Structure 1
């Protein structure tokens, strides 16, 4: 156990933060001197400066959303009882709109099928799983993106073939008056209003996060109780774990530790790091780089420039056996969700970032790999950027060797996260080879403030069993290819290097890529 964890813990509502004062004590004192705990608890929009104030006025609803969300619990209970025969809950939406609900269901052990991809594999599998007993939840603040529109079209076709009334099988979570709300009215579907202005990971304790999880059977009332129990601590200078965590995160870059490794500590809530990482990336505008590590001993989970944060559910455990962490956060899920949001907003005060600013739009550039591959090795086509070696090993080495002192590698797989799950093993292999932070995610990518410091590896794969999009002149595979190409163009517009590897046979290509990455060394 790190020596940092032997110090004082900040505790409230069953949640403890240990080790934070070793790095953040001075920052906490500064925050307290400016009355930040009380001002944030009171939703003061001026905390992040005049430029950020207009957005903050509309987007601080997450602070007390758990109280407003309680009002919809009777409706959710009634809806769950009415639709009790629909025991396969599918959530469809872009990553920003589905992440919180996905993590809630995962942490609470409830089955929830999430479709935030255009890959035909998981879509075909979902459609084949009890279509007559499927409840489709559509989540979007405004309108449907093309992939989610395609999901709805595919399900409506499946229900037309099976015979159920589509209206009964669809629940929509969206803002009042949105394009999606109008479409739901046309379908005759149930609409549950989303919290205005609160989106992405900030929306965990709103309808966007709670409705899909509740319909999947998660005990969301308990989560709201856990968040409410923490509320009384948020305006305090001491015994405020959210303040302690936010101070440590805000102090990290000044101490040369701008990579935040989020590590499951073995005491539960293993999926929470994905949500917390998205929240930190949003709030700090790229000043902090969150890396979700597989385990405490994974490459990149510790080391120079890294603040290692262990996350778990069991209070008193600190971290699991053998885990070395700088900061440990342990407690119930609802308290975690409010703590991390408050901490991210607090870190943004110290770092002088706008926590609610969208990433700057990129001018689309040219995707240079539209022609033939630079080389073909086994089941992998290599599309190397100009100036990079044409072969697989050389191109990977070029990508890693080019990482500067403040740069990191972003790996994005446009594949099936279930059938092709092994490809996630690239992250630790490349982190070991690079000696720099490496992140991994499934495409399509959400816009990131950290693109400006990233070099990119994009992995695509051949589709052998495509699926038509009903009523559209394209297939799911074509839609997925367009998403990947759009990401490449956006990154080219930001002048970020992108190496694309296309797997002509997925299972063989993944194995080949892992073997090659394992042989790549600094």
Structure 2
């Protein structure tokens, strides 16, 4: 089984020891497995713990997974394109990025963006006539999977005809959902059901993760058997101090309560995408009521002096392909007194163990922090604004007009009244792009974090420029930094940004789309939806009194990113 060790500063180690004794003396692990809602807030938590037994359920029904794997293989599909968001997409994305294309099976791609360039890029990667589409939506009412389905169903109909189109689609959804009815009406190839008692971010070992795993050729029996080893290790009969999921959760929850609420995820290159899945699990589960954990993913390791006292480092190391540079940097951080948790994976088939370990840990941390670890109240807030904006567009054919606080060489700045006043005062006479950015970034204080929220296509070129911006801020301000691509982060870290501690300073990026795509049956386009999502996101950040500034990069995205990168560098020096 995957091994776990940790080194903690003395004060945190003492608090963790006390918490372990509390969990032992009060039978809290037993209460967790008994689904005792009073371990959290005493509301509906008991309804959301179906994931505790999912590996055993999946193992007993493994013939269903073998059946779809054989069907897909025999049909000769070359690609599978999963259409989903958040919990429906991040687990499968970890698996396809980790395992890649498996011989004899189609290659799995995951689309979770309304950015028109990204939708088109995925369309160009596949052969529509030889692609199986998985529409993955727990509720069946989530906007993005529904419009992805409308778009690609229309595209496939044009290639294969209306009679055959349905046979190229399968659905994964909860029983009785709107998506089930759509799938039945359009004669989908298969419908696989989720369990209503499992929330999206806890669903990686359910059909939402295992059906895509099966169709890409993963040995799901082996994967689930390995996962079950971790389930057994986290049972209530195991002493608390030897229970890997519970101990990890106690460390994370206790550290967060003591001010170390930035969990910095470091994963070996071969399993690096695990961080994106962990981001959602931690942020959406714990970030609410002004409390929570802020996960930090894909931030390069620096020297110990660029970090404050608000960090916990979680190092998930692939023993078969470690990164010696990561080893050395973690050793230096450990020596400098930072808390470091080390988890060792023998090989990639042990990833399922990590899914379960971290689910248990997150539930335990949520109990210690004192929140409901299974709801996401603030995600819905921006969805409501987005729905209102897209409904308005359907009526009028346009989104409401906006007035920038700065328009300089094609780059525009937007924010709400309160932020406008504060930034205007701080910028003084220098109301330029650099002046406003300096004023915004100077709001960062010890214990804060900086989040770059980019509503642009997620690709290597953009990632490189955005990473350079975040690291410039990290290195100069010595604070934690986050990078999210919109709209996918809305279903992930967006909950913590809006509902968690008010310690974030946000820079939202938008652009004009060089090419837009229609949504069949609607007036609005993918570009309009993305714009509405960005506005909805920003409006709720402002309503929650967050320190937020939006940079609109205009039509030339590459030039805009380069200009922004230079301006941030100047603003932080």
> Aligned to 2:344, which of 321, 325, 330?
330
Say if 2:562 is the partner of 1:508: no
Q: Is the 8 A contact 2:138 2:200 kept in 1?
A: no
Q: Which secondary structure state, in structure 2, belongs to the residue aligned with residue 91 of structure 1?
A: strand
Q: Distance in 2 between the 1:205 and 1:120 partners?
A: 31
Deviations 1:466-510 (A, max 9, x none): 112222112211121111111122222223232111122111111
**Could you say which residue in structure 2 is the equivalent of 1:98?**
89
Q: Is the 8 A contact 1:295 1:301 kept in 2?
A: no
Return the TM-score normalized by structure 1.
Answer: 0.89
Q: Distance in 2 between the 1:173 and 1:297 partners?
A: 41
**Could you say which residue in structure 1 is the equivalent of 2:462?**
420
Q: Which secondary structure state, in structure 2, belongs to the residue aligned with residue 438 of structure 1?
A: strand
User: Could you say which structure has the higher helix fraction?
Assistant: 2
> Aligned to 1:77, which of 55, 59, 66?
66
Q: How does 1:115-514 map to 2 (within 5 A)?
A: 115-128=111-124, 129-163=126-160, 165-189=164-188, 190-234=190-234, 235=236, 236-237=238-239, 238-264=241-267, 266=268, 268-285=270-287, 286-297=291-302, 302-314=307-319, 320-324=326-330, 325=334, 326-331=340-345, 332-360=350-378, 362=381, 370-384=401-415, 385-387=419-421, 388=423, 389=427, 390-418=431-459, 420-425=462-467, 426-444=469-487, 445-446=490-491, 447-452=494-499, 453=502, 454-504=504-554, 505-514=556-565
Say if 2:36 is the partner of 1:44: yes
Q: Distance in 2 between the 1:194 and 1:141 partners?
A: 7
Q: Distance in 2 between the 1:217 and 1:483 partners?
A: 35
Measure how far apart 1:299 and its partner are: 9.2
Q: Is the 8 A contact 2:172 2:208 kept in 1?
A: yes
Q: Distance in 1 between the 2:444 and 2:177 partners?
A: 43
Measure how far apart 1:370 and its partner are: 4.4
Q: Which secondary structure state, in structure 2, belongs to the residue aligned with residue 465 of structure 1?
A: coil
- Going from structure 1 to structure 2, the CA distance change for 1:483 and 1:398 (only over 3 Å counts) comes to same
Measure how far apart 1:450 and its partner are: 3.7
Measure how far apart 1:155 and its partner are: 1.1
**Could you say which residue in structure 1 is the equivalent of 2:393?**
none
Q: Is the 8 A contact 1:409 1:438 kept in 2?
A: yes
Measure how far apart 1:318 and its partner are: 11
Q: Distance in 2 between the 1:102 and 1:299 partners?
A: 31
Matched positions, count = 506
Q: Is the 8 A contact 2:205 2:355 kept in 1?
A: yes
Q: Distance in 2 between the 1:298 and 1:117 partners?
A: 34
Q: Is the 8 A contact 1:273 1:292 kept in 2?
A: yes
**Could you say which residue in structure 2 is the equivalent of 1:8?**
none
Q: Distance in 2 between the 1:141 and 1:105 partners?
A: 20
Return the TM-score normalized by structure 2.
Answer: 0.82
**Could you say which residue in structure 2 is the equivalent of 1:87?**
78
> Aligned to 1:112, which of 87, 108, 111?
108
Measure how far apart 1:122 and its partner are: 1.6
Measure how far apart 1:379 and its partner are: 4.8
- Going from structure 1 to structure 2, the CA distance change for 1:48 and 1:435 (only over 3 Å counts) comes to same
**Could you say which residue in structure 2 is the equivalent of 1:61?**
50
Q: Distance in 2 between the 1:467 and 1:316 partners?
A: 41
Worse-matched range after superposition: 36-45 or 269-278: 36-45
Worse-matched range after superposition: 282-291 or 244-253: 282-291
Q: Which secondary structure state, in structure 1, belongs to the residue aligned with residue 515 of structure 2?
A: coil
Q: Is the 8 A contact 1:175 1:194 kept in 2?
A: yes
Deviations 1:147-188 (A, max 9, x none): 322211221222122116111111100001111101110011
Q: Is the 8 A contact 1:229 1:335 kept in 2?
A: yes
Worse-matched range after superposition: 203-212 or 290-299: 290-299
Q: Distance in 1 between the 2:562 and 2:4 partners?
A: 41
Q: Is the 8 A contact 2:286 2:373 kept in 1?
A: yes
Measure how far apart 1:224 and its partner are: 1.1
- Going from structure 1 to structure 2, the CA distance change for 1:167 and 1:335 (only over 3 Å counts) comes to same
